[in-house]
Structure 1
Amino acid sequence: MTTTINDLPDVILSNIIAAVSDIRTRNSASLVSHKWLLLDRSTRTSLILRGNARDLHMLPSCFRSVTHLDLSLLSPWGHPLLSSVTDPALFARLLSQSFPNVQSLIIYSRNPNAIELLASQWPTLRKIKLVRWHQRPQQQVYGADLTPVFDNCTQIDYIDLSNFYCWTDDIPAALRCYPLIASKLTLLNLLNSSFPEGFKSQEVGEITKFCPNLKEFMIVCMFDPRYPGFVGDETLVLISVNCPKLSVLHLADPLALANARADPDTQGFSTDDASITVATLIEMFSGLPLLEELVFDICNNVRDCGPALEILNSKCPKIKRLKLGNFHGISMPIESKLDGVALCQRIESLSIRNVADLNDMGLIAIARGCSKLVKFEVQGCKNITVHGMRTFVCLLKRTLVDVKISCCKNLGAKSSLKALGPIQDRIQRLHIDCVFDDSDEDEIEIDCNYDDELGHKRKKLKLDIDLNDLSNGFQQKPWEKLEHLSLWFSVGELLTPLLSLGLEDCPNLEEIFIKVEGDCRDFAKPQPSEFGLSYLAIYPKLVKMQLDCGETIGYAHTAPSGRLDLSVWERFYLYGIGNLGLIELDYWPPQDKDVNQRSLSLPAAGLLQECVALRKLFIHGTAHEHFLNFLLRIPNLRDVQVREDYYPAPENDMSTEMRADSCSRFEDALNRRHIED
């Protein structure tokens, strides 16, 4: 008699199925038998609801163990959640009965009404994330969006507003009115790109005073000393004094959060220095002994910060993840002696941006000292070259699997790929800028005499490599473990040159992210006629793509004589996408910022319908109902969303691109089709 997995006791089998985290795998497991179906339903703890809120008869009632519920993707997306429901109170009641154990909730909150109804249904709620890309109601009182949460959910300890368009005045006002609840918060995420100036010094001081038990604190601040209320020495010390239990601290400038690219030809120093001294950083780090993750991403210079980073290593023994922007002097080895960030031996993830004085020797020192690095990101560092980067990855080839090289003047696409040769068979995630040049030198010669990290033993390192020989053999080696590839392009650049540099053999590549930036109004017409997506068909396992043209600026409607509108550029970038076997696609159409419009064009809709294998399509913009009907010709498409997720989302919901009835009719037509699985 054959023994099968079904012979296991139900308790053990239930634990096995509960341990499966991949959603599609769980869905497949639930089709094995009725028993497995029941076990899957009873063990799911996380669920993202899709579909239209008006279709109450489709609300599932079999997921009784769900503790994390995401309602932010209900359609029509971006509209008030209860606007299409006849009886909002009944809808809220049915949700609470279907999911009685919810502890964590995500919801698109266009106005406080939905929160007022839903928060009362789950009084034991502990985590909440609010999402809103539309304008905040002008007449709304300060803190009105959070008031229903604090009124009904007294055990709340996790608030995420990173994608919630509000005013900085709303946060202190809400915390001030509920000091007891504020004192219980352990996570507060205010790292929101919708704040054009960030939080001022006084507001940061108030927030940290109200929330002394925070363990994770993320906030966008104004560090520019030219503006009143800037964050400087006093505020940084106040953070460590008011919140000594922090294990995660993210402080970012609004411009840094916008991820604006620096000019590769600049020296890397900003115009003004931040009002932050090394002595203050030392005092701040000394007051945060539990710190594990630090992000200090600002756009003003912090000079000679090496001694402060040495104190970070000694006073914060748990530090593992570090990101620094515009911090200079992080590694300045003298006679090859390690200093600064190179002494942070325990960090596993390091990201540095706009470090003007970092050169090859400093980079090599970081590799020698930070020998546990798994992830490394470098952006806007003008003085590092292929020589230093290759030596860096050589020293870390046993651990490094995630690399991002961006906006470095001496590291174009060709140079970056050559530098990563030593870990070509290990790397799993990679980002490079597709800047193509022929400036690589023919030979690498680096002599480094140095003491090891403990200063005990003298060593010598020498690399003598012929890059011509390297490039000949480089294309023959596969990128065996590469699963995620991220690429940046300037407007008008082509994808095809990249594949000739050695990236054609990626047998396990599953996901690719392509970002295009620039002003296409500077071009008369794209040359040649296609970007080159069809060439990605050489990757046998490629099933997911993010194509982000959201920062490609052009004319949406009427272009002046001799200029092209955005539909021509959409055709240029999407041509050939039907040749790929994509299952999931996220697409950001180009935009016209002058009229705040990012909309799918007719050529784009026609090209997207050629993706016959697609199951999931997110369009991060708007689309006419007529163009959406093109997508009905994709046989297996089952999950489509049109999302205005850019600040501020257009308010005129009566236009044909955003009308709720248009989206609903398209969804009805999508659901009427027969899909095999």
Structure 2
Amino acid sequence: MTYSTGRNPKPFKRSSNWTDLWFKYKTLKHKHVVFKMQLPSLNAAAAAKNEKHPAKNRSLGSSKDLTSLLSDELLLRIFSKLPDSQRNPNSLVCKRWLALQGRLVRSVKLLDWSFLESGRLVSRFPNLTDIDLVTACICRPRNSGIFLSHKFISFHLDSGFSPGGFIHGENLLSPESIDRGLRVISRGCPNLRKLALISATETGLESVAEECPTLQELELHRCTDLTLRGIAACQNLQILNLIGSVDGFYNSVVSDIGLTILAHGCKRLVKLELSGCEGSYDGIKAIGQCCHMLEELTLCDHRMDAGWMAALSFCGNLKTLRLKSCKKIDPNPGPVEHLGSCPTLERLHLQNCQVRDQQSMKSLFIVCEAVREIMFQNCWGLDNDMFSFASTCRRVKYLSLERCSLLTTDGLESVVLSWKELQRLRVVSCNNIKDNEVTPALSSLFSVLKELKWRPDSRSLFSTLSATGVGKKGGKFFKRV
């Protein structure tokens, strides 16, 4: 339709509505959308054409996954370079990527035992080397709002509690179920290196030991003497953590019988941790005589009988001795002349221990007289008298004191000045050690140390030590906090 204004009439179109304007200015974008919608039909036509002319129209491509041209090995190398945060999204792309991502997983913490017994665990993750079964072995409500966490174990629990602890026999899987699960692991994970589980059986551990020759690290909760018979076939076992009893959780017994079985069966042990285990001189002696490669021994909340400390001298290659959360060290270590010593020992660490018995502490430092590194962390009863026994160790190069509130500046000075080889000193949160009590002799020692961390309390900022020359000879190794 046209309109005239009189002279030189010019035809013109009716003003466009909003729909026309939108299509006018969005033409390119709209065409792109239409093209994407028509792409499958074009691909279908191109595919039909390519059957007659395979050399033409290759640029149109097809809907085929281009990553299918890459081998599994190449895709695995690509996936292994991606950050962990992208692995789960990648596994949702297709079934092939899901399977490939499963081959990259090396460590899992199982929560549902049926996932293991059905075989889906080993089929989904065929290259596992580290499996934690502890939580899955505990039959507890998953939807409980109460979550209990311990340094050894964590799980959901209901509101009930009995005097024997949170975990009883009825709260654990049956021995038959555990054996079936371990057989699945032994068949499907031949490269297994680390395993953690609770209430294991002798039969189940034997199957793992026979089928997984590369097993090197084992963590057993609620362990007993009979259980240890099953790991005698673990010829290459190097790291073992035995947790016999945990106060408030479960109780089991590991005695000299189990320690002797362990010593004769696992002669390649390098690190051994005994938590809540019973025993005595005979058990520790058997370990020292049979496990010649043992370099690190940790005792946590031990229930050892009196006299066990004298057996440490049989550990000929022991380099590190750790005592954690021990209510006692050794109430009756015996005559000093029968204690012996560990000539290869380098590190002595005590954490959260009660060190109130003078005879125990004196005997401990006699056995560890060759030590180069001593660490006390939050130890109750460590006063000047107890710490004075450390002067027996003449070769100490590093001392760390943390949260030892009974020790004073005089007690510290009397010992560290006798150590002629001391190079590093760390004093943190020891409130009875004061800046204003530091003597010129002690400040002179500070000035030659390679490393010094001096923060006995929150107010200590080297205010009184600034004029003593501290750190001038220590040079670049000196840490001022």
The structure richer in strand per residue is 1
Structure 2 residue aligned with 1:583: 423
Which one-letter code corresponds to 2:180 in the other structure? A
Give 5+ residue unaligned stretches, structure 1: 1-152, 160-170, 186-207, 222-229, 261-265, 333-338, 441-467, 519-525, 550-568, 590-599, 642-665, 668-677
The alpha-carbon distance between structure 1 residues 400 and 640, as it changes in their structure 2 partners (threshold 3 A), is: same
Q: Given the alignment of the two structures, is residue 543 of structure 1 paired with residue 400 of structure 2, yes or no?
A: no
The structure richer in helix per residue is 2
Which one-letter code corresponds to 1:406 in the other structure? C
Which of 312, 315, 318 matches 2:214? 318
Secondary structure in structure 2 of the residue aligned to 1:504 = helix
Which one-letter code corresponds to 1:270 in the other structure? I
Separation in structure 1 between the aligned mates of residue 276 and residue 463 of structure 2, nearest angstrom: 43
Structure 1 residue aligned with 2:236: 346
Pairwise CA distance, 1:340: 0.9
Secondary structure in structure 2 of the residue aligned to 1:289 = coil
**Matches for 1:477-556 after TM superposition, within 5 Å:** 477-490=340-353, 493-494=355-356, 496-501=358-363, 503-504=365-366, 506=368, 508-516=370-378, 530=384, 532-549=386-403
The alpha-carbon distance between structure 1 residues 385 and 638, as it changes in their structure 2 partners (threshold 3 A), is: same
The alpha-carbon distance between structure 1 residues 292 and 407, as it changes in their structure 2 partners (threshold 3 A), is: same
**Matches for 1:247-646 after TM superposition, within 5 Å:** 247-249=129-131, 255-257=149-151, 270-271=167-168, 273-275=171-173, 277-294=178-195, 296=196, 302-328=198-224, 331=227, 339-354=229-244, 356-382=252-278, 384-396=279-291, 398-411=292-305, 415-423=307-315, 425-432=316-323, 433=326, 435-436=328-329, 438=331, 471-475=335-339, 477-490=340-353, 493-494=355-356, 496-501=358-363, 503-504=365-366, 506=368, 508-516=370-378, 530=384, 532-549=386-403, 570=405, 572=407, 576-578=411-413, 579-580=415-416, 581=419, 582-586=422-426, 589=429, 603=433, 610=443, 612=446, 613-617=448-452, 623-624=458-459, 627-629=461-463, 632=466, 633=468, 634-635=470-471, 636=474, 638=476
For residues 134-177 of structure 1, give each alpha carbon's deviation from its aligned partner in whole angstroms, at most 9, with x where no partner exists: xxxxxxxxxxxxxxxxxxx9863676xxxxxxxxxxx6xx5433
Pairwise CA distance, 1:180: 9.1
The alpha-carbon distance between structure 1 residues 157 and 585, as it changes in their structure 2 partners (threshold 3 A), is: farther
Separation in structure 2 between the aligned mates of residue 621 and residue 251 of structure 1, nearest angstrom: 42
The alpha-carbon distance between structure 1 residues 494 and 323, as it changes in their structure 2 partners (threshold 3 A), is: same
The alpha-carbon distance between structure 1 residues 508 and 420, as it changes in their structure 2 partners (threshold 3 A), is: closer
Separation in structure 2 between the aligned mates of residue 323 and residue 538 of structure 1, nearest angstrom: 36
**RMSD over aligned Cα, in angstroms?**
4.4
Asked if the contact 1:514–1:548 (Cα under 8 Å) also holds between the matched residues in 2, the reply is: yes
Which one-letter code corresponds to 1:420 in the other structure? L
Secondary structure in structure 2 of the residue aligned to 1:361 = helix
The alpha-carbon distance between structure 1 residues 473 and 312, as it changes in their structure 2 partners (threshold 3 A), is: same
Higher relative contact order (CA 8 A, sep 6+): 1
Asked if the contact 1:360–1:385 (Cα under 8 Å) also holds between the matched residues in 2, the reply is: yes
Separation in structure 1 between the aligned mates of residue 464 and residue 183 of structure 2, nearest angstrom: 59
Separation in structure 2 between the aligned mates of residue 216 and residue 574 of structure 1, nearest angstrom: 50
Separation in structure 2 between the aligned mates of residue 408 and residue 256 of structure 1, nearest angstrom: 17
Question: Which structure has the larger Rg?
Answer: 2
Asked if the contact 1:215–1:246 (Cα under 8 Å) also holds between the matched residues in 2, the reply is: yes
Secondary structure in structure 1 of the residue aligned to 2:232 = helix
Separation in structure 1 between the aligned mates of residue 401 and residue 395 of structure 2, nearest angstrom: 17
The alpha-carbon distance between structure 1 residues 534 and 347, as it changes in their structure 2 partners (threshold 3 A), is: same
**Matches for 1:44-123 after TM superposition, within 5 Å:** none
Separation in structure 1 between the aligned mates of residue 386 and residue 451 of structure 2, nearest angstrom: 22
The alpha-carbon distance between structure 1 residues 380 and 313, as it changes in their structure 2 partners (threshold 3 A), is: same
Question: Which TM-score applies when normalising by structure 1?
Answer: 0.44
The alpha-carbon distance between structure 1 residues 392 and 212, as it changes in their structure 2 partners (threshold 3 A), is: same
* Alignment coverage as a number of residue pairs: 357
For residues 260-280 of structure 1, give each alpha carbon's deviation from its aligned partner in whole angstroms, at most 9, with x where no partner exists: 9xxxxx989934634472311
Separation in structure 1 between the aligned mates of residue 462 and residue 100 of structure 2, nearest angstrom: 48
**Matches for 1:136-285 after TM superposition, within 5 Å:** 156=81, 175-179=87-91, 211-214=101-104, 216-217=106-107, 230-234=111-115, 238-249=120-131, 255-257=149-151, 270-271=167-168, 273-275=171-173, 277-285=178-186
Secondary structure in structure 2 of the residue aligned to 1:212 = helix
Structure 1 residue aligned with 2:59: none
Asked if the contact 2:129–2:192 (Cα under 8 Å) also holds between the matched residues in 1, the reply is: yes
Pairwise CA distance, 1:378: 1.1
